[in-house]
Structure 1
Amino acid sequence: MSSGIHDSFPLPQQPGGGPLSGDLAVQGTTDDAALSKLSAINAGYYEDPFLKHFCSRAARRSPLINRGYYARVAGMRKVIDLFLDAVPPGMTPQLVNLGAGLDTTFFYVNSRCGDRPFVFFEVDFPELVARKSMTILRKEACWSVLAPNKDDIPQVGGLIRTDKLRMVGADLRDLQKLEGEVRGADFSPTQPTLFFCECVLVYMKGEQSDQVLRWASSLVHAPSSICIYEQCNPDDAFGRVMVENLQSRGCALLGLKDYPSIASQRRRLRTAGWAFCRICDMNDVYDKMIDQSDVMRIQRLELFDEIEEWRLIQSHYFIAVAVTSPQASQAECTTVNGSGPSAEGEGYADPISSQGHETAAAGRESSRADETEPPEDTAEFLRPLLGVWTPQPNSVNPRLLRYEIPPGIPGVEPKLLQE
């Protein structure tokens, strides 16, 4: 088991060799993640023709690591796909990649959207986004996605700023600078927005990442979402090894002390203003959320005899999806704990409507069940994301809105979530 554990936490290196530390070590994790994703791509787990342009070399990872990165990418892409499908015609989806590093999700979204308008913000340390901008401008396969002629690609301070892709240099710990830079890149607070991050908040102190979550939940005056992938469960035997390995390599998981469990992550999202929430560990994501026919395909790619270790590692990572809206944050609601909105959507109640009180009671039961029981399928896991985009008038209280789950989503019956 030890080899797989150590493979899970590759050592960030300086260009000339030797370990990194502090912010440089955290920045170095993007190179390691890119190499691991490229290994999975080269082994046939998923398609991404762009990532190779951001890697200085290729590396072959173990089947254990390849499968883990496949699950990570497939889970995140599933959320992104459903977000894009849920945004109604006439609105422009915005996606904000917090701590983007060398991630190539922009190119995936661009390919998926085709001619449909969208705006994609990449936020990271100024030196990282500058490096990424330069890489895009050096590689024709990358810059040709943005414009027929490289010289026609707008830049601000050396960072790419097109209609579709806007690079933003900011330290997430400096919230004032972050907001100024994002707004300066023409972020619209009136368009549906998905914030997402992969192994980013966990490298920040709890109070710092809390501020980022509160900032994101309040920035948009339209329904907005957040998707988070990162570590959990640091206090069992494997968790301690995970923390110690990364600590010794200069990458302290600062946020795990404050938010070690899925339940604590759920509470922090509620407290930060995200009204509807679902969280699953990566075992449930792999088994229930992503396309099971594709799972069957990738399971035939490589000899794999590390099932127990694989399941153990996957239980120490999660994907969280949370949604909020102006109406949710402003409404007077019946809640799970009496002090704030329910995390489950069904717990929102119109204070004038007796039917709303019945809905709230059902929501409380749903919330309690969700503390211990994983959702049964993808649709249930992503119900908050599916159900918040179609506002309809609330005849009982015009100040509030109802949100209808769009019809035609496999496994989801159309349903009104009344606030």
Structure 2
Amino acid sequence: MRRTYTRTSGLDRLIDAFLSTLDAESPKQIVALGAGTDTRPFRIFSRQNCHGLIYHEIDFEVVCSKKLRIVKGVPLLSRVLPDASVVPPAEPEEASSSWTSQPSNGGQFYCHRLDLRKLPGNEESLTLPGLRTDVPTLLLSECCLCYLSPQEANGVISFFATQIPNLATVIYEPIRPNDPFGQVMVSNLAARHIRMPTLDVYREAKDQVDRLSKAGFEVVRHMTVEDVWNSWVTQEEKERVDSLEGLDEVEEWQLLAAHYIIVWGYRGNGFSGLAEE
């Protein structure tokens, strides 16, 4: 529980920093990769004055279709994303690729049914309905790109980087697979038939930083989940969370938290909030 809480808190802090200057006159955009059943857009669009936010999610068709059914079937969610409807395809013979909603507090939401592996090399031929290339954009990967090959993952970042001049990214992934704890971690994942190809290349925090620097991000920073817990979570909040869980394996938690990283970077304008983190 503590790791999930800390990861979510760290990502929320960075996203809130990005959105800190959001208004109707200064629109911003978030693109969440492999969003799955993430509830973050519901929490964000439940706030007041989201007129300047365009929010995109990308995932497999089966995931996006299920999410649309859930939104339509749950009144609490449909009040946030009302009148969710399928976006008409660009060509009549094509299958629809997205659904969209006009959130009740303003802004725009899109859910794209798309295999991320189709993005690299298709900057000119593949378009995402509603994607703006003229506004500051945050690309979010919460343990998503790590399931692609390094070439595919870099291609996804390049797809957006070549089109959007003012771009930031936040990536959450495991690191340090070669030390004793990391070896056990990788072995446990393999036992469940889970493999993260990028972990073989971006093994240390420095590798993740170099990754974003090479992708063209001018400012790059990082924190492990342990760093986030120690630096960004207040003592009062730590005590509240620990009272819910009753954690007694502190050393094991510290080892696990040191093996997951949040790395973020940005280039261009519109990221004054991130500059303060």
Q: Normalised by the size of structure 1, how large is the TM-score?
A: 0.59
Aligned 1:89-238 pairs, distance under 5 A: 90-147=25-82, 152-156=83-87, 157=96, 159-163=98-102, 164-175=108-119, 183-221=127-165, 223-238=166-181
Task: Give the secondary structure class of the aligned counterpart of 2:16.
Answer: helix
Identify the match of residue 269 of structure 1 among 212, 220, 244. Answer: 212
- CA change 1:83–1:278 in 2 (3 A) is same
- CA change 1:144–1:68 in 2 (3 A) is same
2-structure distance, mates of 1:182, 1:145: 29
Verify the 8 A CA contact 2:23 2:51 in the aligned structure 1: no
Task: Give the secondary structure class of the aligned counterpart of 2:264.
Answer: strand
Verify the 8 A CA contact 1:161 1:167 in the aligned structure 2: yes
Determine the structure 2 residue equivalent to 1:25.
none
Aligned 1:311-330 pairs, distance under 5 A: 311-325=254-268
2-structure distance, mates of 1:193, 1:120: 10
The alignment status of 1:255 with 2:198, answered yes or no, reads yes
Deviation at 1:315, TM superposition (A): 0.5
Task: Give the secondary structure class of the aligned counterpart of 1:260.
Answer: coil
1:86-122 C-alpha deviation (Å, 9 max, x unpaired): 4466111111101101111101111234454311101
Aligned 1:347-358 pairs, distance under 5 A: none
The alignment status of 1:280 with 2:215, answered yes or no, reads no
2-structure distance, mates of 1:185, 1:291: 40
Identify the match of residue 187 of structure 2 among 231, 238, 244. Answer: 244
Determine the structure 1 residue equivalent to 2:93.
none
Deviation at 1:137, TM superposition (A): 1.3
Deviation at 1:310, TM superposition (A): 0.4
After superposing the two structures, state which structure 1 stretch, 235-244 or 156-165, moved more: 156-165
2-structure distance, mates of 1:213, 1:68: 26
Verify the 8 A CA contact 1:217 1:274 in the aligned structure 2: no
Verify the 8 A CA contact 1:98 1:196 in the aligned structure 2: yes
2-structure distance, mates of 1:298, 1:79: 20
1:207-263 C-alpha deviation (Å, 9 max, x unpaired): 111112222323213x22111111000001111111111122121111111111110
Counterpart code for 2:225:
M
Counterpart code for 2:68:
S
After superposing the two structures, state which structure 1 stretch, 288-297 or 129-138, moved more: 288-297
Give the structure with the larger strand fraction: 2
The alignment status of 1:298 with 2:184, answered yes or no, reads no
- CA change 1:138–1:180 in 2 (3 A) is farther
Higher relative contact order (CA 8 A, sep 6+): 2
2-structure distance, mates of 1:87, 1:224: 15
Aligned 1:25-36 pairs, distance under 5 A: none
Task: Give the secondary structure class of the aligned counterpart of 1:299.
Answer: helix
1:252-308 C-alpha deviation (Å, 9 max, x unpaired): 111111111110010011111111100111111111134443223212323221110
Counterpart code for 2:268:
S
Counterpart code for 1:166:
Y
Deviation at 1:177, TM superposition (A): 8.6
Could you list the runs of 5+ residues in structure 1 that have no partner in the other structure?
1-65, 327-383, 389-404, 413-419
Counterpart code for 1:83:
F
Counterpart code for 1:215:
F
1-structure distance, mates of 2:121, 2:193: 25
Aligned length, in residue pairs: 264
Counterpart code for 1:231:
P
2-structure distance, mates of 1:186, 1:129: 16
1:17-44 C-alpha deviation (Å, 9 max, x unpaired): xxxxxxxxxxxxxxxxxxxxxxxxxxxx
1:286-336 C-alpha deviation (Å, 9 max, x unpaired): 11134443223212323221110000000010101110128xxxxxxxxxx
Verify the 8 A CA contact 2:225 2:260 in the aligned structure 1: yes
2-structure distance, mates of 1:158, 1:255: 27
Tell me how large the CA RMSD over aligned residues is. 2.4
- CA change 1:238–1:117 in 2 (3 A) is same
Paired-residue identity, %: 29
